[in-house]
């Protein structure tokens, strides 16, 4: 397998409904991850783009959290329906401004 050009990290950490702390798993993180995986396969991009699910990326209250490497584009409030736009922007080296991680401290 060639070295991927782009890695997309998707937080799927799930603290459960009873937790007082927000988590991406409660905000569609896993469905987002699966949609990105499906899209990369459908578009024949698996050698170029590696989609990886992760634990907490420390922006829990602004999730679902995504980071695109090596560009270091941080996104917040990402939903499964945003996957196509996010993937297209990653391939073009662009930032999706409407999904830019809002400012705030790491949590
Ligand atoms: S639970 Fe996703 S960033 Fe913390």
The predicted-structure confidence for 12-63, as pLDDT tens digits, reads as follows 999 999 999 999 999 999 999 999 999 999 999 999 999 999 999 999 999 9
Could you tell me the sign of the dihedral formed by the alpha carbons of 28, 56, 103, 94, in that order? negative
Measure 4 CA to ligand 1 centroid, in angstroms: 24
CATH architecture label of 6-97: 3-Layer(aba) Sandwich (3.40)
Mean per-residue pLDDT of the chain: 97
Name all residues whose Cβ lies below 6 A of ligand 1.
11, 13, 23-24, 56-60, 63, 65
Of the pLDDT bands very low, low, confident and very high (cuts 50, 70, 90), residue 1 is confident
Output the DSSP codes for 61-88. GG-S-EEEETTTEEE-S--GGGHHHHHH
Confidence class for position 106, pLDDT limits 50, 70, 90: very high
Closest-lying ligand 1 atom to the alpha carbon of residue 12: 2
Rounded distance from Cα 39 to ligand 1 centre (Å)? 23
Residue spans of the domains in the chain: they are 6-97
79 burial via Cβ count (<10 Å: 0-12, 13-18, 19+): middle
């Amino acid at each position: 397998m060639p070295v991927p050009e782009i890695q997309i990290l998707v937080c799927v950490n799930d603290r459960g409904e009873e937790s007082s702390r927000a988590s991406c798993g409660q905000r569609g993180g896993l469905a987002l991850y699966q949609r990105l995986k499906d899209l990369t396969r459908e578009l024949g991009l698996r050698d170029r783009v590696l989609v990886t699910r992760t634990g907490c990326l420390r922006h829990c209250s602004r999730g679902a959290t995504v980071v695109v490497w090596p560009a270091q584009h941080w996104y917040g409030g990402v939903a499964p329906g945003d996957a196509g736009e996010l993937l297209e922007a990653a391939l073009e080296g662009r930032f999706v401004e409407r999904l830019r991680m809002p400012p705030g401290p790491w949590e």
